[in-house]
Amino acid sequence: MKKIYLILILLISFTLTLAQEAERKSVAVTIYNDNLAVVKDLRSFDITEGRSTIEMTDVAQMLNPATVHIGIDGEVLEQNYRYDLVSFDKILQRYIDREIQLFNEKGEMFEGTLLSSFGGQIVLKKKDGGLMMLPSTEDYRISVTELPEGLKTRPTLIWDILSGKSGKQDVEISYHTGGMRWSAEYVAVLSDDEKSLDLNAWVSIDNQSGATYEDAKLKLVAGDVNRAKPVYVNGAIPKDARTFAMVEDAGFEEQQFFEYHIYNLQRPTTISNREKKQITLFEADKISVNKKYLYSNSYKHGRSSGANGKIAVMLEFNNSKENNLGVPMPKGTVRVNKSDGESIEFIGEDFIDHTPKDEDIELYIGNAFDITAEEKTTDTRKISQKVRETDFEITFKNHKEESVSIEVVRNIGANGKIIRGNIKEEKEDAYTVKFDVNVNADDEFTLKYTVRYTY
Instruction: Encode pLDDT of 235-246 as tens digits.
Output: 443 333 333 334
Same fold, 5-85+152-177 and 371-454: yes
Nearest 5 degrees, angle CA 183-CA 185-CA 190?
155
Average of per-residue pLDDT across 192-206: 95
Given a contact cutoff of 8 angstroms between Cβ atoms, the answer to whether 131 and 140 are in contact is no
Nearest CA-CA partner of 410 in 397, 398, 427: 427
Give residue 150's pLDDT band: very low, low, confident or very high (50, 70, 90): low
Q: How far apart are CA 62 and CA 445, in angstroms?
A: 60
Q: How far is CA 423 from CA 223, 313, 325, 436, in A?
A: 42, 22, 36, 8
Given a contact cutoff of 8 angstroms between Cβ atoms, the answer to whether 101 and 110 are in contact is yes
Measure the CA dihedral 294/300/302/304, to 10°.
-20
Q: How far apart are CA 307 and CA 304, in angstroms?
A: 9
Average of per-residue pLDDT across 191-199: 96
Long-range contacts formed by 163-167: CB under 8 A, 24+ apart: 163/47, 163/48, 163/49, 163/50, 163/52, 163/72, 163/73, 163/74, 163/75, 164/49, 164/73, 164/74, 165/47, 165/49, 165/73, 166/47, 166/48, 166/49, 167/46, 167/47
Radius of gyration of the chain from its Cα atoms, rounded to whole angstroms: 33
Write down the architecture of domain 5-85+152-177 according to CATH: Sandwich (2.60)
Q: How far apart are CA 316 and CA 289, in angstroms?
A: 5
pLDDT in tens, 53-86: 998 888 898 899 889 999 999 999 998 887 766 6
pLDDT at site 112: 86
Global pTM value? 0.72
Please provide the average confidence, as pLDDT, over all residues in the chain.
85
Average of per-residue pLDDT across 296-314: 71
Dump the DSSP string for 367-416: E-SSEEEEEEEEEEEE-SSSEEEEEEEEEEEE-SSS-EEEEEEEE--TTE
Domain 371-454 class in CATH: mainly beta
Q: How far apart are CA 437 and CA 446, in angstroms?
A: 9
CATH of 88-144, one of 3.30.450.70, 3.40.50.720, 2.30.30.520, 2.40.50.500: 2.30.30.520
* Annotated domain spans of the chain: 5-85+152-177, 88-144, 179-368, 371-454
Q: How far is CA 83 from CA 52, 155, 209, in A?
A: 21, 5, 13
pLDDT at site 446: 97
Q: Please name the residue ranges forming H helices in 77-133.
A: 88-94
pLDDT in tens, 94-127: 888 888 888 888 888 888 888 888 877 888 888 8
pLDDT value at 367 more than 50: yes
For residues 181-209, one letter each, b for 16 or more C-beta atoms within 10 angstroms of the residue's C-beta and e for the rest, the string is: bbbbbbbbbbeeeeebbbbbbbbbbbbbb
Strand partners, 417: 452
Portion of the chain with pLDDT greater than 70, in percent: 86
pLDDT in tens, 152-181: 667 788 899 999 999 999 999 999 999 999
* Tally of helices (H runs) and strands (E runs) in the chain: 2, 33
